Amino acid sequence: MNPIVRNILAVIAGIVVGSGVNMGIIMLSASVIPPPSGADVTTTEGLKATMHLFEPKHFLMPFLAHALGTLAGAIVAATIAATHRMKFALAIAVFFLAGGVASVMMLPSPLWFSLTDLILAYIPMGYFAGKLVGPARPNLTYHANR
Given pLDDT bands bounded at 50, 70 and 90, which one contains residue 140? low
Q: How many residues appear in the chain?
A: 146
On the question of pLDDT at 144 being above 80, the answer is no
Q: Give the mean pLDDT of 111-126.
A: 97
pLDDT at 97 over 80: yes
pTM above 0.85, yes or no: yes
State which H helix or E strand residue 28 sits in: helix 3-32
